[in-house]
Amino acid sequence: MNAPVPKPQAFVRAVLGRSDFAIIGEIVEPKSRVLDLGCGEGELLEWLAANKDVDARGVEISGSRVQRAIARGVSVFQGDIDQGLADYPDQAFDYVILSQTLQETHHPRQVLREMLRVGRRVIVAFPNFGHWSVRLSMLLSGRAPRNRLFPYEWYDSPNIHFLTVHDFVELAAREAWTIERRYFLSGQRKITALPNLRAETAVFLVGQAGSLRADCQSAPRP
Amino acid sequence: MIVEAHNVRFNSLPLDSGSTIAPVDLAYETYGELNPARSNAILVLHAFSGDAHAAGISPETGKPGWWDNMIGPGKGFDTNKYFVICTNVLGGCRGTTGPSSINPETGCPYGLKFPVITVGDMVRLQKMLIDSLGIRRLLSVSGGSMGGMQALEWAVSYPDRVVSAIPIASTTRHSAQQIAFNEVGRQAIMADPDWNEGAYYGRRPPARGLAVARMVGHITYMSDDSMREKFGRRLREKETFSFGFDVDFEVESYLRYRGTQFVNRFDANSYLYITKAMDYFDLTSGSGSLAAALQPAQARFLVISFSSDWLYPSYQSQEMVRALRARNCDVAYVELQSNYGHDSFLVDVAEQSELVRGFLASTFDKAS
């Protein structure tokens, strides 16, 4: 026997240093077509291409980040997420990823609808505005919350649409999207109890209404 | 780096216009070595007034190539890794058959008897070379401006022959403004009495007209910023105005110098033919929409534009990229910040080099 292969989750975390990336690394199936919106310098896409052999594409608004992403071999398009999806044909991707960016878009619901048009599934990760520290900070200080999750002053924050775990679940129900999987993170740890109060980051795998859940496609569990 | 200059003759070349050029000569240079699998060949395509001498020092003239900062050992197009080919375009005047070549029917230079050519004809001739070199697939086709048009033409005309395409500061078709500047250049040449309906070979060439055409061209290649930085309102070797029409300003001196220099290396009829080919180029013609025109393309694309390029503005590259995305093509795009206008792809190459290097490396890995 060879040395045990490290669990992908730990490995992704070591490479990428972001727990939401670790989850996304777990979710994405090998050889799939992936579009990462707000992909930064393409670290996640590079990892997915190298380790899961995916067809990796990205959209990023910052020219300098796009440059570094292309220089590392990832096909990234410089553009705006709010407008940038219109050109893609329907169902062009297996996964469309939006990591830590939903709260920065102008029209988040429209962005999510577009993501579900161009992709079979959507992976969305966002900071949870319902976390107890945010609630407490606002309650005690009476000012716009500022903490590790939301480190910006209100006047220069890129975050323009705050949402909680409950908010997202409710929107999904209203839009009849299927939430296939959900992960809640506190720091690097996965948690399950009281996510709306305890999760710093939420990661949802969302499919269209009526689409099969990912775990239905594999053999039924005993 | 060794510069290998070659000439090859083909029996005939059928043209889009329906006529034929026979025979046809093609001048090209190569840098680096073709690998045994013949999978590392890159065709670099020159812009309007370029030639086959893209890199290294020409044994003939002692001058560096027009993209010497991009092509060579360790550079963006790394000749330690890739085999780089550059041809002089059809209609040119630097070794490939053009209006200044001898017409075998008359024994005299073609002049205006040279048939009107297109970007598609240029690419068809290049493909004959690639066939003759035994190269099944080009790892990449790349060029700026008119070179980008040829790269796009390759990607749609011979989709199974190109793994990737890098059109830089280019367009899928000329706008009215781009056609207008070309027309001013052509009119300057044709207004010169020495042009003589194109029959000036062996006599005095239309040097004044060609120089004026080139002066206009140079203005369009720069930006307001880069001209301000380079010349401002500085006077040329004087403290006060001459109160006459001699050179007063540095910018006048520069344009006159560039115009005169150009006459020594470029043929006025080539100017007419090649600018016309650029104006005719329209990837959408016959297919209705750009996305439909790009339908055959299979290549991976890297599209680059420059913030200060007002001759080939970013919106033209973005149009191209949007159509490629609509076809779900693998396309990377970025607008680089540069003050050098359209010339940026030739002079401001640090970031461009990194993009090309990374894109080619990942393309090469995927292809092999």
Classify strands B13-14 and B20-21 as parallel, antiparallel or unpaired: antiparallel
pLDDT band at A188 (very low <50, low <70, confident <90, very high): confident
Q: pLDDT value at position A211?
A: 52
Task: Choose, out of B325, B338, B355, B364, the residue to mutate when testing the contact with A (most A CBs < 10 Å).
Answer: B325
Q: Which residues of A touch B359 (CB under 8 A)?
A: 70-71, 73
Do the first three CATH levels of B4-173+283-367 and B178-276 match, i.e. the same topology?
no
Q: Residues of B289-300 as b/e, b for ≥16 C-beta within 10 angstroms?
A: ebbebbeebebb
- Is B309 annotated in the active site? yes
Q: Which helix (H) or strand (E) holds A12?
A: helix A8-16
Q: What are phi and psi of B127, to 5 degrees?
A: -65, -35
The DSSP result for B32-64, as a single string, is S---TTS--EEEEE--TT--S--SSB-TTT-PB
Catalytic residue among B342, B343, B344, B348: B342
Distance CA A126, CA A163 (A): 8
Distance CA B30, CA B82 (A): 10
pLDDT band at A149 (very low <50, low <70, confident <90, very high): confident
Whole-Å CA distances, A118 to A45, A88, B329 = 18, 6, 14
Distance CA B212, CA B187 (A): 10
Q: Where are the domains of chain B?
A: 4-173+283-367, 178-276
Contacts of A122 (CB under 8 A, 6+ apart): A95, A96, A97, A98, A112, A115, A116, A177, A204, A205, A206, A207
Worst-scoring range by mean pLDDT, A2-11, A93-102, B253-262?
A: A2-11
Residue window 289-348, chain B: list those with CB within 8 Å of chain A: 300, 302, 321-323, 325-328, 330-337
Helices (H), chain B: 119-132, 146-157, 176-190, 207-221, 224-230, 250-265, 268-280, 290-293, 314-326, 344-347, 350-367
pLDDT band at A151 (very low <50, low <70, confident <90, very high): confident
Interchain contact, B362 vs A73, CB within 8 Å: yes
Interchain contact, A63 vs B361, CB within 8 Å: no
Whole-Å CA distances, B236 to A184, B95, B245, B335 = 70, 37, 13, 35
* Angle (deg, nearest 10), helices B207-221 and B250-265: 120
> Pick from B277, B3, B8: which is nearest to B128 by CA?
B8
Q: Which residues of B touch A75 (CB under 8 A)?
A: 300, 330-332
Q: pLDDT value at position A218?
A: 44
Distance CA A184, CA B111 (A): 75
Distance CA B176, CA B190 (A): 20
Distance CA A136, CA A198 (A): 12
A49-68 average pLDDT score = 94
- Is B365 annotated in the active site? no
pLDDT band at A16 (very low <50, low <70, confident <90, very high): low
Q: Would the ipTM clear 0.90, i.e. be above it?
A: no
The CA-based angle B325-B147-B181, given to 5 degrees, is 100
CATH class of B178-276: mainly alpha
Q: pLDDT value at position A146?
A: 84
What's chain B's Rg over C-alpha atoms?
20
Question: For residue A97, what is the DSSP state?
Answer: E
- Is B224 annotated in the active site? no
* Angle (deg, nearest 10), helices B207-221 and B176-190: 160
Interchain contact, A89 vs B326, CB within 8 Å: yes
> Pick from A121, A78, A129: which is nearest to A102 by CA?
A129
- Model confidence over B246-275: pLDDT tens digits? 999 999 999 999 999 999 999 999 999 999
Task: Choose, out of B322, B334, B357, the residue to mutate when testing the contact with A (most A CBs < 10 Å).
Answer: B334
Interchain contact, A73 vs B322, CB within 8 Å: no
Length of chain A: 222
Interchain contact, A70 vs B358, CB within 8 Å: yes
* Angle (deg, nearest 10), helices A8-16 and A43-52: 150
Catalytic residue among B25, B51, B309, B348: B309
> Pick from B182, B213, B155: which is nearest to B277 by CA?
B182
The residue type found at B26 is: L
Q: pLDDT value at position A11?
A: 46
pLDDT band at A210 (very low <50, low <70, confident <90, very high): low
Query: Which residue carries 């344009």 as its tokens?
Result: B255
- Model confidence over B85-121: pLDDT tens digits? 999 999 999 999 999 999 999 999 999 999 999 999 9
ω before B193 within 30° of 0 (cis)? no
CATH superfamily of B4-173+283-367: Alpha/Beta hydrolase fold, catalytic domain (3.40.50.1820)
pLDDT band at A147 (very low <50, low <70, confident <90, very high): confident
Beta strands in chain A (DSSP E): 33-37, 55-60, 75-78, 93-99, 119-127, 178-186, 189-191, 201-207
Please tell me the pTM assigned to this model. 0.91
Q: pLDDT value at position A4?
A: 46
Give the distance from residue B290's alpha carbon to the nearest chain A alpha carbon, in angstroms. 12
Report the residue from B326, B354, B365 with minimal CB separation from A87. B326
Walk me through the domains of chain A, giving residue ranges and CATH numbers. 8-209 (3.40.50.150)
Question: For residue B65, what is the DSSP state?
Answer: P
pLDDT mean across residues, chain A: 86
Q: Which residues of B touch A76 (CB under 8 A)?
A: 332-334
Cβ contacts from A onto B, under 8 A: 63
| Closest Cα in chain B to A55 | B330
Instruction: State yes or no: pLDDT of A92 exceeds 70.
Output: yes
> Pick from A77, A140, A85: which is nearest to A113 by CA?
A85
Distance CA A181, CA A158 (A): 27
**Is residue B16 exposed (0-12), middle (13-18) or buried (19+ Cβ within 10 Å)?**
middle
Q: What is the pLDDT along chain B (368 residues), one digit of tens a residue?
A: 889 999 999 999 999 999 999 999 999 999 999 999 999 999 999 999 999 999 999 988 899 999 999 999 999 999 999 999 999 999 999 999 999 999 999 999 999 999 999 999 999 999 999 999 999 999 999 999 999 999 999 999 999 999 999 999 999 999 999 999 999 999 999 999 999 999 999 999 999 999 999 999 999 999 999 999 999 999 999 999 999 999 999 999 999 999 999 999 999 999 999 999 999 999 998 888 999 999 999 999 999 999 999 999 999 999 999 999 999 999 999 999 999 999 999 999 999 999 999 999 999 998 87
